[in-house]
Amino acid sequence: MKISIAILGSPYASQSAHTALNFTKAAVSSGHDVIRVFFYHEGAYVGNQFNTPPQDEFAITQQWSDFAVKHGLELIVCVASALRRGVLDETEAKRYDTKSDNMAAAFQIGGLGQLIDAGLSSDRLVTFSA
Instruction: Spell out the domains of the chain, with CATH numbers in brackets.
Output: 2-128 (3.40.1260.10)
Amino acid present at 124: R
Are 81 and 113 spatial neighbours (Cβ–Cβ below 8 Å)? no
Query: pLDDT tens digits for 54-109?
Result: 999 899 999 999 999 999 999 999 999 999 999 999 999 999 999 899 999 999 99
At 128, the pLDDT band (50, 70, 90 cuts) reads: very high
Give CA torsion, residues 31, 35, 39, 41, to 10 deg: -120
Q: For this structure, is 78 an active site residue? A: yes
Catalytic residue among 8, 20, 76, 78: 78
Taking residue 73's Cβ as centre, other Cβ atoms within 10 Å add up to: 19
Are 38 and 4 spatial neighbours (Cβ–Cβ below 8 Å)? yes
Query: pLDDT tens digits for 66-81?
Result: 999 999 999 999 999 9
- Residues 6 or more apart in contact with residue 34 via CB below 8 angstroms: 3, 4, 5, 24, 27, 28, 71, 73
Helix extents (H) in the chain? 16-29, 60-71, 79-84, 90-95, 112-121
Residue 126: CA count within 13 A, CB half-sphere? 19
